């Protein structure tokens, strides 16, 4: 392959071989030598040697030899090839490769016309692959998984209904619903995923224009992060987002959803009678209820899979749900469909709403639990980058919310504020900035001679006490808060009597029951993280005060630097103790809490199903089951709330420290 552009192209192809095991060598081969290497007897040896090199440069070759090299890789390696060129002699190579990229330059438009994608300069190839190529693979994989799921969930409902209709080929849904399910009801959310791609011409200005159309492209991370972390491109090379395993998982998800979608409504409406005496066990009414819950589940699934929300996404996803009710009303009442009044009658009863809620909960709860487990225990690189983006947004939002002091909002004609006949700038900018409104630490007085040796001895005594009591137990973590009051005298908003280890905390812990011990420890860890963030934010207060540093004596600067170092070491130790404390909580309670959560959710769903049946029989029996249902819901809420508080505290801690 020829000249500069072809050299870079071969480098990209050589990475396809064994990029983790290559030796760092390169091969430069001309066209005369390549004639012998591409013979049937030598091509295997040539390929083995090339696979051990980091780059293979083929120079002074014919257009046919370029195509043969690409075809050799296609035939022998399980890899997707890409060829890039800018002239007419690159057309055969571009057409042979899986993906052809043409550069519109001074050598004509033949390569552009023969390619799949076109760019203006070679440097745009990085963005084409790492940003738009990765996004395209990400969107296509997500679309295929959702497509197989929703169609299996829709189709298998007829299979389960066949067991109750004598295998008479009777469909559970309205024939009109079957016809327009994929066309009208579930097509718009797929468009919201961004399945729009341009395959012939991608110029720089076209890419720039499409970037700012809201909601066209679904993306997990931003384009800046995609370029900054090239390893995000790895799942596309290994087909990690859609393969046989992902297909089987989508199929099993669809089978499970279809089973829940049919059995729960069937059990709720079997032999059902409304309070007015109407029979609810009707085929058309059951079909309308199952179809409605199916659309709700599809909408919830696509909303859960959407990572990049815009106005366009909201219109497409929630609009499709509204569009279902509009079309159902228009078809049955205006055109005169056979299912007229079925959905309207079902929505008038409380049974429909309870059945819908319990079915959607049963369908979504395993998916949410699995995704939270994967995100917490085995997050991918994209998950960690998304968390970094979210923390960056929170940090920038918190910095924007900080209000300036009234003195800084006043407009001054001059900020010099110098003394009379002085040629130096005074403290005007420092005064108007509002920074000196903060109370200075007490240690600031000692180096200036305003303190005494007694205060110094008290401080050294307490700091020595801190170093003596360091251990890796939970008791050390509790006592650590009361031993640092000298180094953090500015923490006036924290009451020592409310800290763990004090008498008030011990009296509360004495009455703590076994069921709430785990949540109490998690809340304790969250409070420790908040305290640590507050202390770290106050370390090195004078580091950013340039006005004060210019007027400090060397002795004062040395003292503040030493104090800053000691405080930082203390907080690092505190941070390690919090991590060990959280690990002990996880090791002690993770299995019990997981089993308790799953069991409680199952009992909650069964209780709600029982309440649906009791509501049709007697309001007294329904009222007797309601407190038990509320207690179960509060038990789940308490576990989720304490975990969310710890997550929020850690997120806020990282935002503060950054």
What pLDDT does residue 399 have? 61
Residues in the chain where the model's pLDDT stays below 70: 1-23, 192-217, 397-515, 540-551, 652-658
Q: Which H helix or E strand runs over 58?
A: strand 55-59
For tokens 């959407």, name the residue: 306
What pLDDT does residue 260 have? 94
Q: Which of 31, 29, 75 shows the shortest CA–CA distance to 55?
A: 29
Q: At a CB cut-off of 8 Å and minimum separation 6, what does 655 contact?
A: 391, 394, 395, 398
- The ranges assigned to domains in the chain are 24-120, 127-378, 564-657
Residues constituting the chain: 658
Query: How do residues 67-84 score in pLDDT, each as one tens digit?
Result: 999 999 988 887 889 999
Q: Which H helix or E strand runs over 30?
A: strand 26-30
How far, CA to CA in Å, does 314 sit from each of 185, 215, 367? Answer: 15, 9, 22
What pLDDT does residue 547 have? 60
Query: How do residues 200-239 score in pLDDT, each as one tens digit?
Result: 333 333 333 333 333 355 788 888 888 999 999 999 888 8
Say which CATH architecture domain 24-120 belongs to: 3-Layer(aba) Sandwich (3.40)
Rounded Cα distance, 230 and 73, in Å: 24
Q: Which H helix or E strand runs over 102?
A: strand 99-103
Backbone angles phi, psi at 435, to 5 degrees: -70, -30
Backbone angles phi, psi at 209, to 5 degrees: -70, -45
What pLDDT does residue 518 have? 78
Q: Would you state the torsion angle of the CA atoms of residues 522, 526, 529, 535, taken in this order, to the nearest 10 degrees? A: -130
Q: What helix, strand, coil percent values describe the chain, rounded to 5?
A: 70, 5, 30
Rounded Cα distance, 555 and 385, in Å: 44
């Amino acid at each position: 392959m020829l000249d500069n552009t072809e050299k870079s192209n071969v480098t990209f192809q050589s990475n396809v071989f064994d990029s983790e095991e290559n030796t760092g060598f390169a091969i430069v081969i001309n066209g005369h030598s390549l004639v012998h290497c591409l013979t049937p007897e030598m091509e295997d040896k040539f390929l083995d040697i090339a696979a051990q090199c980091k780059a293979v440069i083929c120079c002074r070759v014919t257009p046919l030899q370029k195509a043969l090299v690409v075809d050799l890789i296609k035939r022998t390696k399980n890899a997707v090839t890409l060829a890039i060129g800018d002239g007419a002699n690159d057309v055969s190579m571009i057409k042979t490769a899986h993906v052809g990229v043409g550069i519109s330059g001074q050598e004509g438009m033949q390569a552009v016309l023969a390619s799949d994608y076109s760019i203006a300069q070679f440097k745009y190839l990085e963005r084409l692959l790492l940003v738009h190529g990765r996004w395209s693979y990400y969107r296509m994989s997500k679309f295929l998984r959702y497509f197989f799921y929703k169609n299996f969930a829709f189709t298998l409902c007829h299979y389960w209904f066949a067991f109750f209709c004598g295998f008479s080929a009777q469909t559970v849904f309205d024939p009109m619903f079957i016809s327009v399910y994929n066309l009208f009801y579930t097509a718009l959310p797929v468009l919201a995923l961004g399945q729009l791609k341009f395959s012939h011409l991608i110029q720089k200005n076209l890419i720039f224009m499409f970037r700012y159309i809201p909601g066209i492209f679904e993306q997990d991370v931003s384009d800046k992060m995609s370029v900054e972390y090239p390893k995000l491109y790895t799942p596309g090379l290994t087909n990690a987002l859609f393969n046989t395993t992902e297909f089987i998982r989508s199929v099993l998800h669809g089978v499970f959803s279809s089973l829940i979608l049919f059995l729960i409504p069937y059990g709720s409406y079997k032999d059902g009678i409304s309070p007015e005496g109407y029979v609810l066990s009707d085929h058309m009414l059951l079909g309308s209820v199952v179809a409605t819950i199916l659309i709700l589940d599809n909408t919830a699934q696509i909303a859960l899979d959407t990572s990049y929300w815009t106005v366009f996404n909201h219109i497409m996803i929630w609009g499709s749900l509204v569009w279902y009710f509009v079309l159902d009303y228009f078809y049955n009442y205006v055109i005169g469909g056979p299912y007229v009044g079925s959905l309207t009658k079902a929505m008038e009863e409380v049974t429909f709403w309870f059945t819908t809620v319990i079915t959607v909960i049963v369908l979504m709860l395993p998916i949410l639990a699995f995704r939270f487990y994967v995100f917490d225990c085995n997050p991918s690189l994209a998950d960690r980058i998304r968390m970094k983006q979210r923390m960056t947004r929170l940090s920038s939002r918190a910095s924007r919310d900080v209000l300036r002091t009234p003195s800084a909002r006043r407009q001054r004609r001059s900020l010099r504020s110098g003394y009379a006949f002085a040629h130096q700038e005074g403290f005007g900018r420092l005064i108007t900035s509002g920074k000196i409104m903060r109370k200075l630490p007490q240690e600031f007085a000692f180096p200036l001679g305003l303190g005494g040796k007694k205060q110094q001895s008290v401080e050294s005594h307490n700091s020595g006490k801190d170093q003596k009591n360091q251990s890796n137990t939970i008791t050390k973590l509790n006592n650590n808060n009361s031993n640092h009051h000298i180094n953090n005298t500015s923490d006036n908003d924290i009451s020592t009597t409310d800290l763990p280890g004090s008498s008030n905390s011990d009296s509360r812990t004495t009455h703590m029951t076994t069921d709430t011990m785990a949540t109490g420890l998690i809340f304790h860890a969250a409070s420790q993280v908040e305290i640590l963030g507050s202390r770290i934010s106050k370390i090195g207060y004078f580091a950013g005060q340039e006005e004060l540093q210019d007027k400090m004596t060397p002795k004062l600067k040395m003292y503040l630097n030493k104090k800053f170092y000691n405080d930082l070491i203390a907080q690092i130790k505190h941070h390690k103790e919090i991590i060990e404390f959280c690990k002990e909580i996880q090791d002690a309670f993770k299995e019990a809490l997981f089993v308790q959560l799953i069991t409680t959710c199952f009992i909650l769903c069964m209780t709600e199903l029982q309440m649906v049946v009791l509501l049709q029989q007697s309001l007294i029996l329904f009222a007797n089951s309601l407190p038990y249902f509320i207690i179960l819901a509060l038990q789940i809420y308490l576990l989720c709330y304490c975990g969310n508080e710890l997550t929020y505290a850690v997120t806020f801690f990282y935002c503060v420290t950054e």
